[in-house]
């Protein structure tokens, strides 16, 4: 709720209702009426005050529910957006990893091929040296 001067709207409403009740009770007590008439009016004013407080509480409860609903919708939207971004990031990382894997496999195959070629050259050089000794 909005804060004004250090007290919330619900606190102000509560103090207003309490003040109205006290004022009405004092007005009835000092009015020249019979005892049963006075007690009846006090009961009526008290009932009205309780009804007004109940309606105020319902209004505050309704507003709180609306605020909660709005906040939960916003949180759900933010959560959904964050979840999508994480999924996109995971896909991007997966793509990069796949490309790196392919590059590493190609480098390994090139290394194997170079090894085979060098081994073949070394084998041919050994044969030539052996044949040269025999001649």
Position 72 confidence tier, pLDDT thresholds 50, 70, 90:
confident
- pLDDT value at residue 1: 44
Helices within the chain (DSSP H only): 9-30, 35-134
User: Residue 6 pLDDT > 80, yes or no?
Assistant: no
Higher per-residue pLDDT: 79 or 117 = 117
The domain locations on the chain are 3-134
Instruction: Give the H or E element holding residue 8.
Output: strand 7-8
- pLDDT value at residue 44: 87
Instruction: Check: pTM over 0.75? Answer yes or no.
Output: no
Q: Which residue has the tokens 């044949």?
A: 131
Looking at the DSSP bridge assignments, the partners of residue 4 are 7
Burial class (CB in 10 A: 0-12, 13-18, 19+), 134: exposed
Write out pLDDT tens, residues 24-44: 878 777 777 677 777 787 788
């Amino acid at each position: 709720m909005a804060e004004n001067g250090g007290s919330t709207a619900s606190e102000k409403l509560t103090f207003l209702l309490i003040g109205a009740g006290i004022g009405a009770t004092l007005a009835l007590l000092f009015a020249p009426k019979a005892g049963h008439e006075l007690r009846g009016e006090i009961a009526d004013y008290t009932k009205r005050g309780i009804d007004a407080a109940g309606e105020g509480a319902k209004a505050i409860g309704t507003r709180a529910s609306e605020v909660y609903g709005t906040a939960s919708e916003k949180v759900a939207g933010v959560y959904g957006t964050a979840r999508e971004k994480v999924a996109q990031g995971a896909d991007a990382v997966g793509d990069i990893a796949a490309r790196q894997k392919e590059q590493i496999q190609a480098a390994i195959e090139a290394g194997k091929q170079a090894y085979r070629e060098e081994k073949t050259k070394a084998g041919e050089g050994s044969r030539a040296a052996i044949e040269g000794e025999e001649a």
